[in-house]
Structure 1
Amino acid sequence: MSETRKIRVDLDNHHVHLRQETVYRLFGDGYVLPQKKDLGGGEYVSTQTIAVQGPKGKIEGVRVIGPHRPFDQVELLASDAVKLGVSAPIAESGDLADACELTLVGPAGSATLRCGIIAARHVHIATKLLEELGLKNAQAVSITSGGPRSVTFHNVIVRENSDSDLSVIHMDFEEGNAAGVKTGDFLELEY
């Protein structure tokens, strides 16, 4: 029988990460994204949102995550891709090789970029726990939910969390809803 560990769930909605140049293009020269909620590790939810346009539709109010990043990335839900009329790959954050093209629209301008993905589910595991469990960064593990809709999520990528002692699985709302889990629930890590 495999060893298990309780991992807290954090469900993600669609959101966008922007390069500094894109922030300026969408919001104006010299603009700094204001902070609404601290996410830890230096990241925060901004008070700003943008619109995301595809060939067949548009989604308003997509939250911007700060601070700026070295790449532009829109993390979509699978249903968003259908609404927008795009084929977005399931990919790790920053892997934009096959990203779909989207138009980002802000109050000061727009940008059409190859930046759309559906984020692969992943688990951030604190460095100390990673070592204790004998796991490695980028290793795939399985995580199982409980309850009447219990499922096992396979191919969950491990990401080392050296910024805190927090261990958390990130998946999108659609995956969480399908499994009957919500932010704050705990799932079992299997390795």
Structure 2
Amino acid sequence: MEPIAAMLNCELADHPVYDGVEIQAFDDEVHGSGLLCFLSRRADRTVVDPDAPGSVEACADASSIHGVAVVLDGASARLSLDPPLLDLRRLDAGDRVEGRWAVSVGGTAITGGTWTAGRRDDVVDVAMAVTRRWRPEGLPPLMRVVTAVAPVFRTWPTTYRWEAEIDLAREVARHAGWRRTTAGDTSYRRLTRSA
């Protein structure tokens, strides 16, 4: 199938929320075959995948991502990236970019930190370090006491870091996941008597 024939774009001139739709066909060894459908929100040009429980919020020119939002059964969560994370394929070898990220649930800030992406040849190393401790709001009185007496419940997020190694040539993550950054911190294990 010709690349141009595999895409359909159209403007939604009179729709109150969305201003465009794009349908793309794909057929390759890595991803298989299928169709993707994206909507563009009129207010901020955010690109929305209507089949996902959330949406990737791309900048208007689609060169970077400024957030990911999920709404499911009336609950919402959002990951914000500042500055927006560039399309990793646009980084030149030796380039490194960085910024800050934050997570909110129901509009309340939960935690956050820093993100970095650095390219070496056809590999990009991406990391998200948690630097902001959990600051719960609106807790029931008993939970407020527990988190005040045992502050480990507020600081545990800062003991983790997410890392990924992306192979651009194969368009696949060689490694991706969370890891503990403070091996010597046993306060949570002592408090919860967990392994």
TM-score, length-normalised on structure 2? 0.26
Task: Pick 1 or 2: higher relative contact order, CA cutoff 8 A, min separation 6.
Answer: 1
Pair member with larger Rg: 2
